[in-house]
Structures are given as C-alpha cells and as structure tokens.
Structure 1
C-alpha cells in the first residue's frame, strides 16, 4: 500500500515543483508521519542553488515535525497519534561512534545519501524513486523515517516550533552547550543572525555569557539579535573586527560562525582572545577551502572546531529543548516571521535569497 502525498520536488532547477509522490507504508523499524510543519532552511537553499550535490529528484525539507500515522514491526519508541520531531541525521546505532554515544558523527548512517537504513527510498513517482532530503523530506504531506529519526515530544509544543527545534535550534543550542561548553561571564561573538545565529544567541543567554556580540549585514537582523539577547551589535564591514575587540575587551572567549561564509570563517581567529575557541557552525558551499592563520592558533592557544548538528543526540536533546520552550526559556516562536502553505515555498526561498531574516515555516 502507498499514500499519495503532495510534495515540493527539486529536479535541478532552483524552482521547486509541487507534485504528487507515492509514500510507502512503514517497514520494520520505520515510522509513517503526517507532517504538521517544515522549516525553510538555508541548507535546503544550498541544494536548490547548486552549492551541494544530492541524489535527484529530491523531495526537499529536513526540519520537520508531525503526527505518527503508523509504525512498522519492531518499533517501540512511538505509536500512532504521537507528536514527533524529525532528526535529519539518523544514526545506525552500530558503528564505533554510536557505541561511544557520539551519534552525531555516526559512520553508518544513510541520511546523507537520502536513503533509509536498508538503502531504499520510501518515495516514488511514476514508479521511479525520489529521494527525501537527508532521509526526511519534510516538505511533503507524508514521509517515512527510521525509528531513530522520530523523537516523541509533548503535544503542547506546536508543530511549527517543534520543526525548528529539530534543526536550527538544536544546532545553535548544541554548538554552545555541547561543543563550546560556554561558561558564565565569558565573552562571545556570533557571526550571522539568521535562524541558527539567533538560536546560538538564545543559548548563550541561558549559559550566562556576557557580553554577547552579534554581527550581521543588516539593521533588521541586528534588531532581531538584540531582541534575543545580544548586548552589542556590529555591522559587518572593514572595521567589524576592531569593534568586536573593543566590545569584548580585547577579544572574545568564544566565536560562532553561523552562515557558512568562507571569508568570515577565515577571520575568526582574529576575533578571539588568547585561549579562545572558534566554532564553525555554518556550512559553506562544497569545494570552498578556507585559509586559516595556523600560526596565530598555535602561538596564542586558540582553537577552531567544527560543529555538526551541534553534537545533538536527538533522544536526549529534543525533549530538553521542548521543555525549555514550554517553560518560556526558549522563545522559539519569535524566530518565526512568516507562515506559508506548501504552495508558498518558492516565494519563501526567494525571500531568503533577498536577505529576509527570521524563519519561514511551511504549515500543513
């Protein structure tokens, strides 16, 4: 049996096609989800604009939440009717990294090839496979994911909030808490005040960082950053580094790059105090190496680390983030500036390319 699902399909053009796809019933260890909301994320735009190569045709969306419709044999962590957040990186739970609890660097996952653990796709069109982006495909009314990619959260968390918890918020929060281990009273700078950057700022506030310097190219973005807890605002430009050093009394203890721009990644060591830590959170285009002043890192004891998904462990971190939201400590609802139906998704990507800030969410 299959379920007919309206979906946003990428077939090579930056413009998504809205088509019907067939979604199979869940097999062993799989879950069929009726989507409630999907974030419109910069990572999706990288695929649409040709920065990253993915299997094609691709049902876009990786940041989603919805309701469990049915579960396959052997599924024990969810049942029909549960509300779930979808994780875009489903660990195999068998490799050395998974055995050590480091599921975010699993070497046996099929997510990055947009396939289920058995190597198949749950979606077809006219009998031919289509590939759910990162094995999620949240810009579809229905999707099938492996059990480890669906995490039950309280029904009181709205789907549009839960969707963002599944990627941008968990990535930003995890970069601060899991990767950098930010300590209270330490100075931090965040480059890029988009969805992930604002999530980093929220997490820095919870961690007690001070000052928190936000850097972006527009006043609109900086005003948003201030509303989320940034104490100092810097327009990107030639004198930005000097302004950051002044605001942080000589350099930040932590710097977070949240846009994936090679030039700003290369400039991170200059923003750090001795012994400071730079965290690369944003994802640049493929085949764009970054030149780093390695001597400055070594001589001044600075560190530059990568953050993959904020080192998120979904079953541990998604419920935590949901509880913080419900307690009023993570104002994720203020990240959302636009809500659209699936037919508005191309306009949402156009707005993103034009520099729109905050987050657009597709609501089903």
Structure 2
C-alpha cells in the first residue's frame, strides 16, 4: 500500500531545519505484515531527542530511514502469528525496542537489554530482519522498529502494547518513550525508596517524566535542574521543591535539599560533562542514573577511586529498564489515578507537514513534548 512517511536521506543535518529540511514527506510503499507483524494506522507520534540525534548524526543510523518512534496506533491487520494476540481495531502504544524473548537478556528478565532487538534497531530492520518500506525499489529503513512519523506502519507484534482506546491519542503516545524511559529510570533502575531525596538534570520530556515518577514514588525532596526558566517553572508546578539553573552550581542544589547531598541523581541531558556533575553531586553511597544519549565521541572522566571510597553506583538506564508490556499498563493506571499527570508534558499538537520546523523548536529547548497527527 502507498503511505506518507517522513524520510531522512542523510544523517548529520544541521539547522535551522525549517530551511535545511532534512525530513521530506514522501509517498512510499509499505509491504503487508509478516506472520509476526502488525499493520497499524498511526494516530499520534511524539518528537524526541532520540529522533533529533539521528538527524544531527549523534546516533548514526543507515539511510534512507523513515524516522519516529514514540507513538500510538490502531491495528488494521495482524499477521498469522500476531493474530493470536492482536486484532483489527486494537489501540496500541509502540515500544522502541522489541523484546525477542529468547536472548540471554530476555531470559534473565532484562528485556530492555535485548540483543536481538538492539541489533535490529541498529540495522534499521524489524525484529525478524525484514524491511517493509520501499521507495522506487530502494529499501527505506525502519527507525527503532516503528517509523512513526507516517500515516501507517508495519511493526513487529513485540513492538506493540495494547492500551485502552479512551485515552486521548496525544497523551497515549507519550507513554511509549518519554514516560517509559523517565518514570522507569526512577522506579526500575534507581529503585527509588520512599523518602529518598532526588535530583533530576534536564527537564525535557524524559526529565519531567522522571520528576513525575519520583513524586509518584515518594521521593522527598525533589530538585530539578535546567537552564530554561519555563521548564523550571513547570517543575515547581508539578511538585518539585526547587528548580534551579545549572549556573547556580552544586552548592545551591545541596542547599535546596536541606544541606545534604541527594540519594539519587537522574541525568537526562545526554552530555558527558553533565553526567560528571551528577556523579559528583550524589552523596556517598548514592545512586546516579543516566538516560541521556551523548555523542559516541564523548568520554566520561570520574575519579576511579570514588567508586570504592564513596561507594557510589553509576547506572545506565535504557528504556527506563522497562518491560513495556508490564510497565506501560502500570503507568497508565498511575495516570488514571491522578498520580502521573502526563498531560502536563504536552507542548503542542501539529500536523505532520510541520515536522522540520518542530525539530527546530525541540533543538532550541523551548518544547517539552510535541506531538504530530499524521
């Protein structure tokens, strides 16, 4: 079938994207789903720094590629195997890492480290190695198994989590990445304990989701750090005890915590220098969780002796150490209970044809989460 998709022909593009237009809306051919796959109609898709990092070359990926990975969709058709779990009309949130269920990580209960899913994502294929997108006979790669900046997509059944159809699509989409990653970093990776203090660096969609997860999990106090005044203001509205400019320095953060260093620090910026600051800030025995994706050339330098002498734990968190089929329903339940106001993360809802200009807004730091409706 013919669909419209936002296609990236070359990585390493620079802004302003409204002028350079790295993404073009193209009519491409979408093959029918294979046995393990679903044909879906994309209802809404969110813009994420992980998309931007492919455009600007921080996360190299094969091209041409149809990008976009945070989305909600409606199932149109299910392949022979997928039909055992999905049917036409099901509403699904797309997960950006399909869990194969058979690799050592999956068998150990750590599907967020699925080797086969990661290999497929790196190659720009679906989990079984197939490519379902073509343009004039040329393969168009899949982005994180979703390629969600499009009217339709074919995804692996293990990239989809069924959700209730009554959730507004612009809100449901955010559970696929921002919420899954940010809340999961706090509750799954850091394993927050009630009453622990927490600092979050970076207040984009993932950072503010982490803040919401910290508040829902009983962190006290929670302090936010970001250079953008409007993001700091929102953090305080959401319940942060304080929101500071990074230029205020670590002493101001410690003062906001009552004069003690934090138990947990979450770093979402994706800069090695910020991660080093987060590591230094944590108390002795503290836990530092990073979810940001720096350019592969960046190197982290910390005092090696501090790992032993200070007993600190530095943890990476991919996809919030989440199992999507388990955690997305949990987070939706928290949202329904009013404990996870995900709707406050939404900056704007726009048509797909504004995609390039929207990435300028994202790159500037002005937006938290923008959503496009194909």
Please indicate the TM-score interval, normalised by the length of the shorter structure.
Answer: over 0.9
Per-residue deviation at 1:291? 0.9
Per-residue deviation at 1:162? 1.5
Q: Normalized against structure 2, the TM-score is what? A: 0.94
More displaced 10-residue stretch of structure 1: 112-121 or 70-79: 112-121
Q: Normalized against structure 1, the TM-score is what? A: 0.97
Map residues 138-287 of structure 1 onto 2, 5 A cutoff. Answer: 138-237=148-247, 239-248=248-257, 249-287=259-297
Q: Could you list the per-position Cα deviations for residues 115-171 of structure 1 after superposition, in whole angstroms to 9, with x for gaps in the alignment? A: 112312111111111012111100011111111111100111122112110001110
Per-residue deviation at 1:271? 0.8
Which residue does the alignment assign to 2:87? 79
More displaced 10-residue stretch of structure 1: 194-203 or 324-333: 324-333
Which residue does the alignment assign to 1:55? 62
Q: Does the aligned pair in 2 maintain the 1:113–1:135 contact within 8 Å?
A: no
Which residue does the alignment assign to 2:48? 41
Q: Does the aligned pair in 1 maintain the 2:290–2:316 contact within 8 Å?
A: yes
Whole-Å separation in 2 of the counterparts to 1:240 and 1:190: 14
Which residue does the alignment assign to 1:8? 6
Per-residue deviation at 1:193? 0.7
More displaced 10-residue stretch of structure 1: 84-93 or 290-299: 290-299
SS of 2:219 mapped into structure 1: coil
Whole-Å separation in 2 of the counterparts to 1:332 and 1:70: 29
Which residue does the alignment assign to 1:325? 335
SS of 1:274 mapped into structure 2: coil
SS of 1:275 mapped into structure 2: coil
Q: Does the aligned pair in 2 maintain the 1:157–1:322 contact within 8 Å?
A: no
Match of 1:32 among 32, 39, 51: 39
Match of 2:100 among 64, 81, 92: 92
Give the aligned length: 361
Q: Does the aligned pair in 2 maintain the 1:269–1:297 contact within 8 Å?
A: no
Per-residue deviation at 1:292? 1.5
Gaps of 5+ in 2: 15-21
Whole-Å separation in 1 of the counterparts to 2:61 and 2:114: 19
Q: Does the aligned pair in 2 maintain the 1:157–1:326 contact within 8 Å?
A: no
Runs of 4+ in 1 over 3 A off after TM superposition: none
Whole-Å separation in 2 of the counterparts to 1:254 and 1:167: 21
Q: Does the aligned pair in 1 maintain the 2:241–2:256 contact within 8 Å?
A: no
Whole-Å separation in 1 of the counterparts to 2:137 and 2:239: 50
